[in-house]
Structure 1
Amino acid sequence: MIHRGTRLVVNLAALEHNYKFLRSKTSDSTLFMAVVKAQAYGHGLVPVAQKLQECGVDYFAVAYVDEAVELRNNGITTPILVLHAQQHNLPDCIERCIEPVIYSKEMLEDFYAFAKAKHQTNYPVHLEFNTGLNRIGIDGEELDAILEMLNKQDHLKVKGLMSHLAASEDLEEITFTQKQIDTFTELAKKAESVLGYDCIKHQCNTSGILNFPNAHFDMVRSGIGLYGYGNDKKYQDNFKPVGTLKSVVSQVRSIKKGESISYNRSHHASKDMTYAVIPLGHGDGMKRVYGYGGAFVYINGKPARTLGIICMDMFMVDVTDIPCKRGDEVVIYDNEHNAQEMAEEVGIISYELITGIQARVPRVYIEEGV
């Protein structure tokens, strides 16, 4: 099928390239966890996970249990970690062989009750320590009580110990990051000593993989890097953005000097001009922050700046000096004009842009050389 309308083109060959690059930064003995939460950062949960399973990743991570269930329903047999499991769907973990992160005493009590009711023995869980991100996680002073609870039962077994770096991409925060690494090392050592066995230890995200090889431990986790962004310009040439967001010109119109365009008359023409209408709006993930000239798109290789407010289903761009017609292709972002650059122009990050592309934008999967 030839897709000519608005679509997100996902290059699975670029995904494999990024995985291999990140894998090259770790030792052969270090496990690799691919983070595919939020629909694989907007690229499509199942096709991305299927490709990464073919590539040989050791683990998947998702945010919520329903994402893990969707993976299991579509043939993913690789271990899956749920980073932010919720009390109401913990039973699904056991039914689908999904490993939850235990991030509080209350979560441990809840999951223990489910595992006991299901007559589980040594069901695998991961403990998350709060080492400075201050989001979720077990604080150091809580650890003794948690370990005591675990050692009094045999329904659960700690398979992994983890934490999350807060600023691994910011080299001005090296001291803080190293403190996080040292704290995690200390807590993990204590936990393994009390439990009496070794666990899979993991703390590094994409930037941690690149900037803190001393903290790779037994496993690393990567999200944004897999999709082509390294959080650092010095690494960007090593990554290939996986997604290309494209649309088409649906209409070319003219306007006279002094007339206005879009809601609230948000652009007034300072001269006679021509503009194109693009069938993509904030209902699709083209955020309103890109209005008022906040972004360029590319039509026939030339940059066209947005005009006025981004509408829910469409937006307008200035094509006064760009020959174009209905049906011409529009590139919102691609490898050359990537999502990170587009996001930075308006003060947001690539994550916000790529994860915001809504489900009504079709995903088209290709495998082209990179």
Structure 2
Amino acid sequence: MNAFFVAPGGAVLLLLAANSIGFLVSVALSGQLVIPADVLLRMGALHSGAFVAQEYWRAVSYGFLHANPGHLLGNMLALVLWGPHLERRVGFSNFLLIYLVSLIGGGVVTHETQPGPFLTVGASGAVSGLLAALFALFVLGESELDATFFLVNFGLNFALSTTVPNIDWRAHFGGFAAGFIVCALLDLSARLESVVLRCKFPEFAKANCYVALAFAGAAAWTIGGAPRDRTALIVAGGVILGFFTLVKIIDLLLSVRRGAAWAGVLLASLDAGLTLSAVKIWGGALPDVCKIQWPGPDEATRFVGSLCAHPVDMGFAGAGLAFVAALSMQRNSILRGARDAGGFVAASFVGERKRRRGRGL
């Protein structure tokens, strides 16, 4: 861990691919390496009127777009330098959570503090949040990295945010603050988990819980209305109660023989249900999606049109695909749990929690 560079893990590679694909699609649409503002806007750039227009999704999509190769290279270099250290320490799911919260934090700070009209893209807020999370672990005494690592990389982050033209320092600041806070909260949560949970959750279970919480939060925002409305408070309370109930059910399943297999099937069913619910809640936006002039061959346009013409069928097909994909990703854990006649797998989850009792991330 004291090495300046370590090999990227799965989450870092996934983000490298997502950001690279976003740039390649931008190049394909614009026909040039320096992406015009109108193309970035169409693809999801964050702009000054985004929240007024209730386009909150732009607080995420903007982070997977870049204006030119240098912009992409700088952010991906930071991701490769800082990301692997953090992913090794906190795991796949917590790493992605920190990244996304930092990305949103950088976007929100930019949106709320820019004095005039703006359009911004880039992963700088998210990668700053990764460095902040590493620093939070250092402050909490839970990092093997030394002070030299942070002195060098703080200098690098400061140089990028102040010397490179058109870099959004507000996103750097917002992402850094969000990354530090969410990592500290995750550490506190891990300490509380040792008191209320029997088992150390495997990554597939932890990731599904995060997805369920994010979906429920988005659905509550859509259904509940204004933040101070009574209905919104009731929906928010239901979301929180449902989330903790799900976590405890999985915890109980993992602690019994063959429970890991049942937990995997339960989570795959949950993914299918969330996919179907997403079509039901947000399916009304399909007509707007269908009006977009999609690039590519006529076959692609006809395929999108056929989906729009049968939203119910699309929902059930998506739910089936989500179920199969979730089972496939959890295949090893489910098979291992199915063979757990002696309860050894369940005992390993419980034992790991006991070994980490009272410790954070």
Higher helix share: 2
TM-score above 0.5? no
TM range (shorter): under 0.3
TM-score of the two chains, using structure 2 as the length reference: 0.24
Larger Rg: 1
